[in-house]
Structure 1
Amino acid sequence: MGHITTPPPPPAVFRIVDLFAGPGGLDVAADVLGHQVTGIEWDGNACATREAAGLDTFRGDVRAYRAAFFPRAQVLTGGPPCQTFTVAGHGAGRRALDQVVGYIDRLHEAVRTADGDWKRIFRTWRAISEELRRKAVLAEEVKERKRGIEARRAVTRKALQRALEDLGTPGDEIRSVLKSSRAERNLDLKDEMLETLVVEFDTLGVELHECRQQLEELGDERTGLVLQPLWWVIERSRRPGSNAYEAVVLEQVQAVMPVWEKYAEVLGTLGYRTRTQLMLTEAFGVPQTRKRAVLMARLGETEVSEVAETHERYRSRNVPSGAPTRGRAEPPLWDLGEQSTDRSPKAAWVSMEAALKKARGIDPELPDRPAFTVVSNYGTGGDPGARGRRDHDVPSSTITGKVSRNRLCHKGTDIDLPRFERFAPAEAGVLQSFPVSYPWRGSDRSQQIGNAVPPRLALHVLRQVLEPGLGHEEARARAEQAVSDLENWRPPSEPVRARTHGDLAGHPLTGR
């Protein structure tokens, strides 16, 4: 009698709510894994893309929704805005980070000491929300005053410039005066009208500086948005009649890692096993170097393991032969001494050329370029004239909202490629690991692409967190199939209309 092998049961299907969902990087990854995902997104352009991609969407500010609106969601994911943390360690970014960490500590203290008293926890959240609201209102008032000062100073600046020109002041001296925060220090004030203009110019400069300081102290209203996922987890875990999320996955730029580590402390108190991981996108098959800070959590006793890298890390090359001397190769983005503990064989990182060639096999309309060098819109090493450069046969630099400004030149030169001197949205999406057929819609498509979660990275994270019981070979086969499905994904023939706050009734996650 032959041996009958019973195939393993298919992985469980999870219902996911994705906060700050963007154009759908995590959502399309969840879709190819077979999960049901609903995203909340305020940006109309990103919502237009999501509609064309057939992704279930609620349009609006995350703060207008609550975890209680979606009681059937089993998993929470998200990537709150990161702009205020990208300069963490310097000035406003450091203060924003410290402020959020302080709010998290307050919430954690309430959770630890409330002894199940939901009203006490909620009062803490309401106090934080009101504090943030007052700061946002005051910040708008300061911004309005700042705009008025800037308009008046611009008029005064022109009048001062004309007065100096009439007196025969050399051009370089005029420029120096107009750039100075205290013009009077650079002038011999003998003309009465000139003195009046200089005093007014300097006074407005002082007022402008005070406004900027106030705005830094008040912080950006987006700073408070990073607290939203944590509050949703707390609400589902402590609000009477609610069931805690089975899993949580959050990702953002590297600067947000201290926030995720604080989150992990609170989630531990709420009964989750957690792990934070700094992930290098090219080490997971994304044809781009990019660092992402990821928080993963499972409710109960299931350990959350590190997501094993599938590809080699990229090491920056030296300046290519023939490269213009005014540019230079991009420096390494991290210390390669920081090695993964995983020692299993890895594939080579994926180059721009390899990714775009595979995409052309799916969509022959993509341009077939000769060997090229990407010249970044950004300067490197603090020198605006020294543009970062990457050749076609290595991974792309980090894809940002300015990807459409990057120039494509003949390899090793500064000579633009005719007709194909910029990446099309479909190509930029491919370098972010989106399917080549992803239907980018609306305006600011480069910004949508640059802000998105790389789907291939999201795929590996979701598979690891939501399917922890798979064996090594089964998990690898599952991931390989999902990657293939992602690359060959196609949008539906008909778009899906995004819902609004008033369209909760009848939705699968609402129970209404």
Structure 2
Amino acid sequence: MSSPETQVHRPLRILDLFAGPGGLDVAAHFLDLPSIGIEWDRNACETRYAAGLPTIHADVSVMRESRFDEIPTSVDVLAGGPPCQSFSVAGKGAGRRALDTVKEFIHRLVDGEDEAKIDEDLHALGDPRTALVLEPLRWLLKAIETEGRDPYKVIVLEQVPAALPLWQVYAKLLRGGEGRLQGVKYEADCWELKTEQFGVPQTRTRAVLVARLPGEGAIEPLEATHLPFDLHRGKRRAAQADMLPTDAALPATRRRWLSMAEALDVASAREGSPVDVSRLRTGGRTKFFVVSNYGSGGDPKNRGRRLSSEPAFTVTGKISRNKVYRNLGEYEAGRSDRFTIPESGVLQTFPHNFPWSGNDQAQQVGNAVPPRLGMHVLARAVRGDTPSEEELAAATTWPVVPASTTDELRAIGCGDQSRCPPDSHKVTRSPRTSAP
């Protein structure tokens, strides 16, 4: 595996749309697949520069429309997770209500309808983020229709579960190769994946699409490495709980899900780690419980709780609002703690020392794809296998990136700032530390 510094100068293979702070790019790094990301949020770009991840600070649509020629021709994997807020159950749901309409837009794009008219109708939906789910398809069509470009060999997309019907439409059209696809056909499939079943210490479900050109065999579903977490465990009667399998009875190929305490303990034990859970230890054990920022069943007074011996709630941009208590005494006294940004990142399976930078770091963490899940998805899509134990073990620590590399990447990604998203550099950058 090469370092982030050397990957800057290697032929790029993966284009990560809506790249955020780098969930998929971190996964690609540990699989030795050089990538470049497009990201409009300046703060997320600062994290990416600090981590040594090649980045273009730009709007995905603008890049496609007017700067497509800047994407290296070596890129043969198109990946991305379009903004999910309008589809998310935590949002207002404009995307969920418009699912059938968005399906029609997908067909209209492939059928060759005038894109100006399509853009006008998309604007009428109200939430501009809903339209972004079409961008990966538009990037594929652009590659097919641009002279000197080849269709992407592999496509990897992820979103909240509510978007699965859209991925199913994508998959059907990619398999058909009709209209503007010009006979280009893919093997394609999509699934709902639970993150805790892939070693991520949180419960989070994602809709994932994988497509690739024929010749590499059929796409096989991902094989879970861990058991699912029982979200309804508190409602089970004691007699039912006794019937659940013990660790000794688990299948040899599937382990129990990973808990918050286990993940944080490992990160805290790393030399020089910014994660320090000593404040959460009682009697030599990391022991606490978390009260969620979200109300259960829509009732803010009935907020969910998780024990440290269980996976975390879905890590969102509001994770810093979750309250952490060591015991009931602290809860009754109102003395709560909070997860730090590095701790929140670990619950997302970012390396313990990942160099979070810029502002809105909690939002950056929450918006990211869990890198460990990304490793499983990319390995299956690009290589047709699963990450090795050595690759997964290496993914817990991020290589130190020299400040010169960060500066070089910022110069490449932002240049004179004239082509960055309007007004994005008016926000004051938070100071960061890095190796000389």
TM-score bracket relative to the smaller structure: 0.7 to 0.9
Return the alpha-carbon distance in structure 2 between the equivalents of residues 54 and 37 of structure 1: 11
1:449 paired residue among 349, 359, 365: 365
Aligned equivalents of 1:408, 1:482: Cα separation in 2: 32
Measured against aligned partners, the alpha-carbon deviations of 1:395-446 in whole angstroms (never above 9, x if no partner) come to: 0010111100111112455528999710000000000110010111111111
For the residue of structure 2 that corresponds to 1:294, the secondary structure is strand
Q: Distance in 1 between matches of 2:297 and 2:90?
A: 18
Alignment partner, residue 109 of structure 2: 107
The answer to whether the aligner puts 1:499 opposite 2:433 as a matched pair is no
What's the offset of the Cα at 1:498? Answer: 5.6
Q: 2:351 aligns with which of 435, 454, 459?
A: 435
Distance 1:501 1:488 in 2: 27
Tell me how far 1:489 sits from its aligned partner.
2.1
SS in 2 for 1:83: coil
CA contact (8 A) 2:156 2:210 kept: yes
- How far does residue 127 in structure 1 lie from its aligned partner after superposition? 3.0
- CA shift for structure 1 position 492: 0.7
Post-superposition shift, 1:232?
Answer: 0.7
CA displacement at 1:276 relative to structure 2:
0.1
SS at match of 2:114: helix
**Corresponding residue of 1:128:** 118
Q: Does 1:65 align with 2:63?
A: yes
Structure-2 residue corresponding to 1:486: 395
CA distance in 2, matches of 1:91, 1:448: 21
Q: How far does residue 90 in structure 1 lie from its aligned partner after superposition?
A: 8.7
The worse-fitting range, judged by mean Cα deviation, of 358-367 and 27-36 is 358-367
1:157 aligns with none
Taking a change above 3 Å as real, the CA distance of residues 34 and 54 of structure 1, as seen in their structure-2 partners, is: same
In the superposition, relative to structure 1, how do residues 416 and 303 fare at CA in structure 2: closer, same or farther (>3 Å)? farther
Inter-partner Cα distance in structure 1 for 2:355 and 2:414: 25
Structure 2 contact 153–212 (Cα < 8 Å) conserved: yes
Where in structure 2 are the equivalents of 1:60-209 lying within 5 Å?
A: 60-66=58-64, 67-70=68-71, 71-87=73-89, 92-108=94-110, 110=111, 121=112, 124-132=114-122, 135=124
Residue type at the aligned position of 1:398:
T
For residue 20 of structure 2, the aligned residue among 11, 19, 22 is 22
One-letter amino acid of the structure 2 residue matched with residue 283 of structure 1: Q
Cross-structure match for 1:397? 313
Deviation of 1:93 after TM superposition, in Å, equals 3.5
- The AA in structure 1 aligned to 2:32 is G
Letter of the 1:397 counterpart: F
Aligned partner of 2:230 among 306, 315, 318 = 315
Shift of 1:106: 1.0
CA distance in 2, matches of 1:18, 1:438: 19
Matches within 5 A, 1:216-255: 218-255=125-162
TM superposition shift of 1:242 = 2.2
Go from structure 1 to structure 2 and tell me whether the alpha carbon gap of 1:131 and 1:92 turns closer, same or farther (over 3 Å shift): closer
Q: Which of 379, 390, 404 pairs up with 2:295? A: 379
Asked if 1:367 corresponds to 2:277, the answer is yes
Q: Point out where structure 1 has 5 or more consecutive residues left out of the alignment.
A: 1-12, 111-120, 136-217, 321-335, 337-342, 505-512
Partner of 1:40: 38
3-state SS in 1 of match to 2:150: coil
| Deviation, structure 1 residue 132 | 3.5
- Alignment size in residue pairs: 370
- State the AA in 2 paired with 1:493: P
- CA distance in 1 between counterparts of 2:26 and 2:233 reads 36
Q: Residue 400 of structure 1 contacts residue 447 of structure 1 at CA under 8 Å; is this kept in 2?
A: yes
Q: Which structure features the higher share of helix residues?
A: 1
Which whole-Å deviations, capped at 9, do the CAs of 1:42-82 have from their partners, x for residues lacking one?
00111111111110000011011125442331100001111
Letter paired with 1:497 = R
1:303 aligns with 218
| TM-fit CA distance, 1:384 | 1.2
Mark the structure with the bigger radius of gyration.
Answer: 1
CA offsets, 1:330-388, max 9 Å, x none? Answer: xxxxxx9xxxxxx7621111100000000011145513212100011111012211110
Query: What is the CA-CA distance between 1:490 and the residue it aligns to?
Result: 2.5
Q: What CA distance in whole angstroms lies between the structure 2 residues aligned with 1:377 and 1:498?
A: 39
Question: 1-side partners of 2:299 and 2:322: how far apart?
Answer: 17
Aligned with 1:355 (options 239, 243, 263): 263
What is the aligned partner in structure 1 of residue 186 from structure 2? Answer: 272
Change (3 A) 1:420 1:497: farther
Structure 1 counterpart SS, 2:395: helix
| C-alpha distance in structure 2 between counterparts of 1:127 and 1:433, whole Å | 42
Change over 3 Å in CA distance of 1:348–1:361 after alignment to 2:
same
Identity across the alignment (%): 45
Note if contact 1:17-1:76 (Cα within 8 Å) is conserved in structure 2. Answer: yes
Secondary structure of the 2:201 match is coil
Indicate how the Cα distance of structure 1 residues 361 and 91 shifts in structure 2: closer, same or farther if over 3 A, else same: closer
**TM-score, structure 2 as length reference:** 0.79
Deviation at 1:254, TM superposition (A): 0.5
- In the alignment, residue 367 of structure 1 is paired with which amino acid? V
Q: Deviations over 1:299-356 (max 9, x none)?
A: 1243111010011111146559xxxxxxxxxxxxxxx9xxxxxx76211111000000
Summarize the Cα distance change of 1:238–1:448 in structure 2 as closer, same or farther, 3 Å threshold: same
Q: What is the distance in 1 between the residues matched to 2:332 and 2:34? A: 44
- Alpha-carbon distance between aligned partners in 2 of 1:485 and 1:318, rounded to the nearest angstrom: 33
* DSSP-derived class of the 1:375 partner: strand
Seen in structure 2, the aligned counterparts of structure 1 residues 319 and 223 have a Cα distance that, compared at 3 Å, is closer
CA distance in 1, matches of 2:288, 2:145: 55
Q: Secondary structure at the match of 2:410?
A: coil
Q: 1:379 to 1:99 in 2, by over 3 A?
A: same
Q: Which of 259, 263, 274 in structure 1 is aligned with 2:170?
A: 263
